[in-house]
């Protein structure tokens, strides 16, 4: 965290459970010049994630998953959300290993190719968590939908195989309202033609 534009003061662990919350006192350089006042900020330490948008360039289809999420339920929103395959990096795992493990566990998928897309912060005002996004090439003809997830983790996941244009329609309608699939589908929209040419489809 060494940065001459930031002065780190007290740092304590405010909560330690399944996740950790740390409290930092910092001063940082202001745009107008000089250092600002010391401020206290809590940071949610969750780890780092890998997310995969499975895509069949031959059929032009994507695989999306649907599952219950506690946060929207608590605030009174629809708690069954449309997302993409994702998981937290475990100690000793490579990013590609996480991508392939989660694709199998959450959707029963074998990834034929992995294309790195981008790395992004999930919620930089509150959490250290980052997401590494991949596009995973698949053969969607081998995917029947169905229910997946690990019982020991309480997962209950429904798989949707939909045309790419349908997924964009869900995005436009607001049916997809989670940041990671929004970013992934927009990334694919920008790079779809190039990838299809790369794979000899167009």
Domain coordinates in residue numbering, the chain: 6-45, 49-198
Reduce the DSSP state of residue 180 to 3 states and report it: helix
Q: What is the pLDDT of residues 164-178, one digit of tens each?
A: 999 999 999 999 999
The tokens of 87 are what? Answer: 């998981």
Q: Does residue 96 carry a catalytic annotation?
A: no
CATH entry 3.10.180.10 includes domain 49-198: no
Please give the order of strands across the beta sheet that includes 6-16: 6-16, 20-28, 39-45
Per-residue confidence at 138, pLDDT binned at 50, 70, 90?
very high
Q: Which residues face 119 on adjacent strands?
A: 132
Q: What is the pLDDT of residues 112-124, one digit of tens each?
A: 999 999 999 999 9
Mean pLDDT, all residues of the chain: 92
Q: Is the pLDDT of residue 1 over 70?
A: no
The per-residue DSSP string of 56-84 comes to ETTTTEEEEEEEE-HHHHHTTS--EEEE-
Higher pLDDT pick, 144 / 173 = 173
1-11 mean pLDDT: 90
160-165 mean pLDDT: 96
Question: Phi and psi (nearest 5°) for 104?
Answer: -70, -45
Question: From the centroid of its chain, how far is CA 198?
Answer: 25
Q: What is the pLDDT of residues 31-89, one digit of tens each?
A: 999 999 999 999 998 889 999 999 999 999 999 999 999 899 999 999 999 999 999 99
**pLDDT attached to residue 19:** 86
Higher pLDDT pick, 139 / 148 = 139
Which residues neighbour 83 within 8 Å (Cβ) at sequence distance 6 or greater? 64, 65, 66, 67, 178, 180, 181
CA dihedral 143, 137, 195, 157 (to 10 degrees): 60
Catalytic position from the list 61, 97, 105, 153: 153
């Amino acid at each position: 965290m060494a940065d001459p534009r930031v002065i780190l003061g007290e740092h304590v662990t405010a909560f330690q459970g399944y996740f950790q919350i740390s409290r930092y006192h910092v001063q940082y350089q202001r745009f107008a010049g000089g250092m600002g006042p010391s401020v206290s900020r809590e940071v949610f330490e969750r780890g780092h994630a890998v997310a995969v948008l499975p895509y069949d360039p031959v059929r032009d289809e994507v695989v999306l998953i649907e599952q219950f999420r506690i946060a929207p339920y608590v605030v009174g929103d629809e708690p069954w959300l449309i997302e993409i395959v994702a998981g937290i990096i475990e100690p000793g795992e490579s990013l590609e290993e996480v991508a392939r493990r989660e694709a199998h566990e959450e959707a029963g998928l074998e990834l034929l190719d992995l294309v790195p897309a981008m790395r992004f912060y999930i919620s930089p005002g509150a959490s250290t968590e980052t997401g590494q996004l991949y596009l995973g090439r698949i053969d969607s003809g081998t995917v029947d939908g169905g229910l997946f997830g690990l019982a020991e983790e309480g997962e209950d996941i429904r798989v949707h195989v939909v045309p790419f244009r349908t997924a964009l329609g869900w995005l436009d309608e607001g049916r997809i309202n989670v940041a990671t699939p929004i970013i992934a589908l927009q990334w694919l929209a920008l790079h779809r033609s190039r990838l299809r040419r790369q794979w000899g489809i167009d």
